[in-house]
Amino acid sequence: MTTESAGAPTPYAPPEPGTVVVYRGATLFDGTGGPARPGTSIVVDGPLIRAVVPDGDPAASVEGADVVDLTGRFVTPGLIDAHQHLATPPDRPAAEAVLRRLAHSGVTGVRDMADDLRQIGDLARAALVGEIAGPDIHYAALMAGPGFFDDPRTHQVTRGAVPGEVPWMQAVTDATDLPLAVALARGTHASAIKVYADLDAALVTAVTAEAHRQGIPVWAHAAVFPATPGQVVAAGVDTVSHVTLLAHETADRPLTSYRDKPPVDHASLVTGADARLDALFARMRERGVILDATAALWSSAELAGDERAESNSELAVALTVQAHRAGVELATGTDHETPPGDPFPALYDELAFLVRRCGIPERDVLRSATLVGARGAGVGHLTGSVEPGKLADLAVFARDPLADIDHLRTITLTVKRGRRLPRADFATDLSREPR
């Protein structure tokens, strides 16, 4: 090459180490589950947290530092949406608009649960280096049985190729070379393997074992058909998604395929007191399996008035309450988004659902949306709590979300990897939003 280009502009890039900012006077919920700490200073050096101390501590006085007064403000770790789909089908302007809204709503991380990774990989890169405003994206490469790949969505995310025969969306059978299949998935720079549908217990176990051998976690649907929820958990997966799928642990006949789901005894399960699910939740707690409940999915605006959705919403409440009571760690995923013109993301609705419909305390829900979400994404060592050495991922609110979860809507500032994203910079312009 005879010339070198600096590449695309990176207006949202993390600040360089040595750029010190002191956020002073905040009331801090640090994500670890402890009580909120008033009068707290958070010292940020470049993209990392250097110190978290009382305002009067000498460590909070750094010569030459930029001081941001947060007196009267409330700070949490950056929020994490544990279940997104940003490219089914790929639509770059729409995805960037979603990411921008998330980033200006205090969301600093998302799990993308299978998509066209050709686009997701570039979106993740662009958000990481700061070309676009967006959360960090931790994404999965999908594996399922061959029968799943006539699903129209698999064609949307493999245009120009054959569904089931690409590294980010593979059909697996007993004859599959699993070390190669997992290596191909890892080559997409995926954070995890997603186990989806039409796999029996033996194959789920084999995929999970090989993924773990190669150092990559497994995120699974709660029932994989014919693999039951209990078999999925026994296989050693790291997270399971969709609390209503756990109902199939109580099926009165063997599971067969993704498209042949047996009916569940709704009247019995909405009591939230089924012994079979108690046993399942106990195993999940013992094994540390995180539940991405997507509990509010069935009460989303687009499903309003749908009788089946209302029934599933009731089931989601009962099973989420039962799981929480059993000590299962919950992550806060959405699996949908609010319309383009809505100023706030679906994640706020998920958190409100967990508080108002499921009766889970705000403190527990905010921990689920921060530290548990980070652990579910495989990055709990990097983010999810406000502690020295972790990424400077913060959300700042004018009113206390521990007092009322709806106070999330008073977001004033997001700090993502040390880069400030004021809410005031975000303006919903319906004439420019993608439809």
Q: What is the pTM of this model?
A: 0.96
The domain in which residue 263 lies consists of: 79-376
DSSP 275-339: HHHHHHHHHHHHHT-EEE--TTGGGSGGGTT-HHHHHHHHHHHHHHHHHHHTT--EE---SS---
Query: Residue 39: in which H helix or E strand, if any?
Result: strand 37-45
| Percent with pLDDT over 90 in the chain | 92
- Verify that 89 and 25 share a domain, yes or no: no
Burial class from Cβ neighbours inside 10 Å (0-12, 13-18, 19+) for residue 63 reads exposed
Tell the residue number behind the tokens 């190729």, with chain if given.
161
Could you read off the pLDDT of 266-280 as tens digits, one per residue? Answer: 999 999 999 999 999
Could you read off the pLDDT of 71-118 as tens digits, one per residue? Answer: 999 999 999 999 999 999 999 999 999 999 999 999 999 999 999 999
pLDDT of residue 167: 98
d(CA 11, CA 428): 20
Name, in order, each residue with C-beta under 8 angstroms of 25's C-beta and a sequence gap of 6 or more. Answer: 39, 40, 41, 55, 69, 70, 71, 72, 73
The domain that holds 50 is classified in CATH as 2.30.40.10
The domain that holds 118 is classified in CATH as 3.20.20.140
CA-angle at 379, arms to 377 and 380, nearest 5°: 105
- Examine residue 126 and state whether it is found in any structural domain, yes or no: yes
- Verify that 169 and 147 share a domain, yes or no: yes
- Verify that 355 and 395 share a domain, yes or no: no
pLDDT confidence band for 3 (50 / 70 / 90): low
Decide if 370 contacts 79 (C-beta within 8 A).
yes
**Does residue 226 carry a pLDDT above 70?**
yes
- Verify that 372 and 398 share a domain, yes or no: no
Q: How many residues are listed for the chain in this entry?
A: 435
- Verify that 138 and 58 share a domain, yes or no: no
- Examine residue 98 and state whether it is found in any structural domain, yes or no: yes
Residue among 344, 416, 415, 335 at smallest CA distance from 136: 416
Name, in order, each residue with C-beta under 8 angstroms of 427's C-beta and a sequence gap of 6 or more. Answer: none
- Verify that 70 and 83 share a domain, yes or no: no
pLDDT confidence band for 298 (50 / 70 / 90): very high
- Examine residue 294 and state whether it is found in any structural domain, yes or no: yes
Q: At what angle do helices 307-325 and 275-287 cross, to 10 degrees?
A: 60
pLDDT of residue 432: 45
- Examine residue 15 and state whether it is found in any structural domain, yes or no: no
- Verify that 86 and 54 share a domain, yes or no: no
Classify residue 151 as left (phi > 0), alpha (psi -120 to 50) or beta. Answer: beta
pLDDT of residue 430: 37
- Examine residue 196 and state whether it is found in any structural domain, yes or no: yes
The domain total for the chain is 2
pLDDT of residue 2: 59
- Average per-residue pLDDT for the chain: 95
- Examine residue 328 and state whether it is found in any structural domain, yes or no: yes
- Verify that 128 and 222 share a domain, yes or no: yes
- Verify that 413 and 329 share a domain, yes or no: no
- Verify that 367 and 397 share a domain, yes or no: no
Q: ω into residue 401 within 30 of 0, thus cis? A: no
Side chain identity, residue 42 = I
pLDDT confidence band for 433 (50 / 70 / 90): very low
Could you read off the pLDDT of 144-175 as tens digits, one per residue? Answer: 999 999 999 999 999 999 999 999 999 999 99
d(CA 116, CA 408): 31
Could you read off the pLDDT of 191-214 as tens digits, one per residue? Answer: 999 999 999 999 999 999 999 999
- Verify that 52 and 131 share a domain, yes or no: no
Q: What is the mean pLDDT of residues 329-344?
A: 96
- Verify that 332 and 405 share a domain, yes or no: no
pLDDT of residue 1: 55
d(CA 132, CA 29): 28
pLDDT of residue 429: 47
Could you read off the pLDDT of 361-404 as tens digits, one per residue? Answer: 999 999 999 999 999 999 999 999 999 999 999 999 999 999 99
- Examine residue 4 and state whether it is found in any structural domain, yes or no: no
- Examine residue 158 and state whether it is found in any structural domain, yes or no: yes
pLDDT of residue 5: 83
